[in-house]
Chains A and B, each alone.
Chain A
Amino acid sequence: MENKLLLNSLKKYWIVAKVSWINGFTYLTSFVMFRVRQIIQVVVAFSLWEAIFASTITAFGYTSAQMFTYIFAASIIGYVVTSSRTIDVAGVIHSGDLSLYLVKPLNFFLFWFSRDVADKLQNVIFSAIELAVLFFIFHPTLYIPTHISTIFLTLFTVGGAMVMFFLINTMFGLLGFWTPDVWAPRFLFYTIMFFTAGSFFPLDIFPNSIVQALSYTPFPYVIFFPTKVLLEQLSSVEVVRGILFTGMWVGLCGLGVFTMWKKGVHSYEAEGR
């Protein structure tokens, strides 16, 4: 009986994901544009590294196979981890539409997480198709992981990255309780993340001191760390360290979200337009 009730109350989030999925397709034009933008990024990254590897066998400790695999994998992992609808949260809070959520028997966070899952799924499916096309254009040699355990480990670290990123994004969204201009801190974060998450190039092209320093921030664990796990370029110690750090950030950000939510809702005037 207990289980049936729980299942019933979780069913709604499946519907949320479904509706969000349908909603994502309603604008074909912008969807296509978004995909084109992604393709261009990969094409340019590929061409650049192809040119670099034309005059050198290894660069930054990567062979060309490893580098191309990195770009491919980082691309997909990037979508899985970072595609998100949670940016809408700040607007919802600031406009007062939050009231509509608060009066319903609906967990606000599960709602947005479900929306994110739908978004990520859409992005992953389409980017897989694009990358297949790009594979035929460039036909690079890729690095295939040699152990089955790598796949599981990669999935695990990607999962951790997803949760961590979701929590960080949510914190930015919750800033909407205190300031209408959430774009500024979020923009700063995304800018730094662009350079330091490892989506366009692997982080270890930076000098070691920088990489070490970055390892204390959440950024490398968004894309770089899971991709390195896939490429089997990390020692066991480094893998464990990475997982622990990801866990630490999940814990910290989870606490941050919890505190911000409590404080925010408590002082929420439910005003706005």
Chain B
Amino acid sequence: MKKYFSIWLHFAKISLQRLFEYRADFFLWSLVSTGWTIFSLLFYQILFLQTSNIAGWNKQQMLVFAGTYMIIDAATWSIFWRNIQNYTESIFNGTLDFLLLQPIDAQFRLSVRHISFTNVPRLIIGIILLALNLPTVTLSQVLMYIALIFLSMGVIYTLWFFTATFTFWVEKLDNIIEIVPTLRRIWSMPSDIYSGFVGAMLTIIIPLALITTTPTRLLLHQFRWQELVALLTFFIVLFGATRAFFHYSIKKYSGIGS
């Protein structure tokens, strides 16, 4: 375990070094992500001009929600985006072979190599939003909240890796992985906006709608343990399935060669 953590740290350091080499890129993308963030905040503001609550969430609660969404989004993107991209590309350009030879877990190696920092402003804005709009919370709640954030990030990561693994089975490298960034929309709004058949799908069977909602509810003193169960179960099942799928795909890949 310690070995893996030190490897991760090493990768993080290299990524940070690379950041300083490509400063202009960093500034440009940070600007873009910040612009996006500000815009979505404006969007919420505008919506609340017309209505006092959306599916039972008032403005202040929505802002806490928005902050949580930004934190989860910025963190997931920073840690995993580039790696998922490289992972799918490596299947087609042959570099996967090289990675598979290394004496560390392949899935780990593929998932953590690069860290991007262009979403740091977004992360900071999210935290500020939280700080400004939070009701009073205890330390244990904050810690529990952080744990839930990690769980949500885990769900997103696993989903991403799972979809990316389909690349082994297609004839052409395509944008299969774009589906997760699009899926983000599902958890960019509180789960309460989904009702009926759609609601049941997204909160119980594939509880993507809960990703942002569940941690937020904790901070708002409205925590529902059923949601935690749903999310945790989903994560465990998906993670197991992903690992199995990954190993099965590697076997097929190695069998045929590149």
Q: So, do A and B actually touch in the complex, CB under 8 Å?
A: yes
Least Cβ distance of A243 to chain B in Å? 28
| B189 CB-CB contact with A under 8 Å | yes
Least Cβ distance of A123 to chain B in Å? 15
Q: A59 touches which one: B50, B185, B186 (CB < 8 A)?
A: B50
Q: Which residue of B lies closest to A45 (CB)?
A: B185
| B194 CB-CB contact with A under 8 Å | yes
Contacts of B186 in A (CB 8 A): 40, 43-44
| Contact assessment for A30 and B197 in the assembled complex, using a CB-CB cutoff below 8 Å | no
| Contact assessment for B176 and A30 in the assembled complex, using a CB-CB cutoff below 8 Å | yes
| Contact assessment for A137 and B46 in the assembled complex, using a CB-CB cutoff below 8 Å | no
Least Cβ distance of B54 to chain A in Å? 5
Spot the interface stretch: A46-54, A71-79, A101-109. Answer: A46-54
Least Cβ distance of B121 to chain A in Å? 16
Provide the bound-state CA to CA distance between A67 and B47, in Å: 14
Contacts of B54 in A (CB 8 A): 48, 51-52, 55
Contacts of A187 in B (CB 8 A): 32
Contacts of B28 in A (CB 8 A): 184
Contacts of B193 in A (CB 8 A): 47-48, 50-51
Provide the bound-state CA to CA distance between A51 and B50, in Å: 13
| B182 CB-CB contact with A under 8 Å | yes
Least Cβ distance of A18 to chain B in Å? 21
| Contact assessment for B50 and A52 in the assembled complex, using a CB-CB cutoff below 8 Å | yes
Contacts of B171 in A (CB 8 A): 27
| B236 CB-CB contact with A under 8 Å | no
| A25 CB-CB contact with B under 8 Å | no
Q: A205 touches which one: B46, B52, B53, B55 (CB < 8 A)?
A: B46
Provide the bound-state CA to CA distance between A195 and B43, in Å: 10
- Chain A positions 25 through 48: 1 when the CB is less than 8 Å from some CB of chain B, otherwise 0: 001011001101100110110011
Q: Is the interface of B mostly helix, strand, loop or mixed?
A: helix
If A37-B182, A137-B197 touch, does A27 touch B188 (CB 8 Å cutoff)? no
Least Cβ distance of A79 to chain B in Å? 15
If A33-B179, A37-B182 touch, does A206 touch B46 (CB 8 Å cutoff)? yes
| B245 CB-CB contact with A under 8 Å | no
Contacts of A41 in B (CB 8 A): 182, 185
Q: B50 touches which one: A33, A50, A56 (CB < 8 A)?
A: A56
Provide the bound-state CA to CA distance between A41 and B186, in Å: 8
Provide the bound-state CA to CA distance between A205 and B48, in Å: 11
| A236 CB-CB contact with B under 8 Å | no
If A50-B195, A137-B198 touch, does A29 touch B50 (CB 8 Å cutoff)? no
Q: Which residue of A lies closest to B175 (CB)?
A: A30
| Contact assessment for B179 and A52 in the assembled complex, using a CB-CB cutoff below 8 Å | no
| Contact assessment for B176 and A40 in the assembled complex, using a CB-CB cutoff below 8 Å | no
| Contact assessment for B188 and A60 in the assembled complex, using a CB-CB cutoff below 8 Å | no
Q: Which residue of B lies closest to A49 (CB)?
A: B193
| Contact assessment for A54 and B46 in the assembled complex, using a CB-CB cutoff below 8 Å | no
If A33-B179, A37-B179, A40-B182 touch, does A51 touch B174 (CB 8 Å cutoff)? no
Could you list 5 examples of A-B contacts with CB < 8 Å? Answer: A27-B172, A33-B179, A48-B54, A55-B54, A205-B46
Listed in ascending order, the chain A residues whose CB lies under 8 Å from chain B are 27, 29-30, 33-34, 36-37, 40-41, 43-44, 47-48, 50-52, 54-56, 59-60, 137, 184, 187-188, 191, 195, 201, 205-206
Listed in ascending order, the chain B residues whose CB lies under 8 Å from chain A are 28, 32, 35-36, 39, 43, 46-47, 50-55, 166, 170-172, 174-176, 178-179, 182-183, 185-186, 188-189, 192-198
